[in-house]
A and B are shown apart, each in its own frame.
Chain A
Amino acid sequence: MEQAFFLFVAVVATASGLAVVMARNPIHSALALIVCFVQVAAVFLLLRAPLLAVIQMFVYVGAVIILFLFVIMMLDVRKEIRTPFLKRWTAVAVTIVVLLAAEMFALLLLGEQWQTPSFALKSGQMSSVRELSIALFTEFLFPFEIASVILLVALVGAIILTRKETN
């Protein structure tokens, strides 16, 4: 049952990921990416990480993609793009992609340790938000503070970047 659900989610995620890359219109790309992110949230639920699934929905679907859609609608992307793919260096790029894919799938399919039963996923309850937050606020307090400073820098930086010169 769970495997069937995972296969369904994985197929939809792969198809919408391909749609992100293949679509001509950036708006279609962004909408396909929303579908893909919802599937990834379902994968997080399958992995017993409900907090991450919720964060995925809120932050990615609710904030990041909506920001993208705002910017796409603000900029003028209506002019027909005749050549959506790069003209030069295509052979080099395709070679890099194929080599990388071959390497990753060779490691995944030939690697012994991913199939051993000792790595079998634990069944049972979801991981609790309480323990996750205790770890976040004790063991990972310093990275947490650094992340908040980075968010502040991004906030101020985005405002300063897009401000019009007033002189």
Chain B
Amino acid sequence: MVPLSWYLTLGAVLFVIGIAGVLLRRNVLIVLLSLELMLNSVNINLVAFSNTLGGYQGQIIAIFVITITAAEVAIALGILVVLMRNNATLEVDEVTILKG
């Protein structure tokens, strides 16, 4: 039997890797991919707790997380395509249009 703490540790490791990607990378596509990794590690935690406590709530919340992620990716990639069309850059530190 795999103990619960192993699943939580795997989730924490993936979350830390994802947050390192979000904070350190320059390419906005890789930042978005790291964001997906973080959302997935949260899903691991939710399903692990759902299995341990013997309910369905965790799995259902994980389904909602996946749904919202799909919507977020569609909007984010749309914004990215428009940004690329107007600005022709993918580097997060060169996108400063909102700065007055």
Listed in ascending order, the chain A residues whose CB lies under 8 Å from chain B are 2-3, 6, 10, 13-14, 17-18, 20-21, 23, 26, 29-30, 33, 36-37, 40, 43-44, 46-49, 51-52, 55-56, 59-60, 63-64, 67-68, 71-72, 74-75, 77, 81, 83-88, 90, 93-94, 96-97, 100-101, 104-105, 108, 114-115, 119-123, 127, 131-132, 135-136, 140, 143, 147, 150-151, 153-155, 157-158, 161-162
Contacts and interface: CB of A to CB of B under 8 A. Distances in A.
Q: Which of A29, A59, A67 has the most CB of B within 10 A?
A: A29
Given A14-B17, A49-B47, A68-B77, 4 more contacts: A3-B1, A26-B33, A33-B37, A52-B47
A36 B40 contact: yes
Contacts of B92: 86
A50 B38 CA distance: 21
B11 to A, nearest CB: 9
Contacts of A75: 29, 80-81, 84, 90
Contact of A72 (B17, B19, B29, B74): B29
For the residues of B in contact with A, the DSSP-based class is helix
A120 B3 contact: yes
B90 A17 contact: no
Contacts of B30: 20-21, 23, 26, 29, 84
Nearest to B18: A17
Q: Which of B15, B17, B43, B44 has the most CB of A within 10 A?
A: B17
19 contacts: A14-B14, A20-B30, A21-B30, A26-B33, A36-B40, A49-B62, A64-B36, A68-B33, A86-B25, A88-B93, A93-B23, A101-B16, A104-B15, A115-B3, A135-B57, A147-B64, A150-B68, A151-B67, A154-B74
B49 to A, nearest CB: 9
A30 B33 CA distance: 7
B51 A121 contact: yes
B95 interface: no
Interface string B1-30: 111111111101111111111011111011
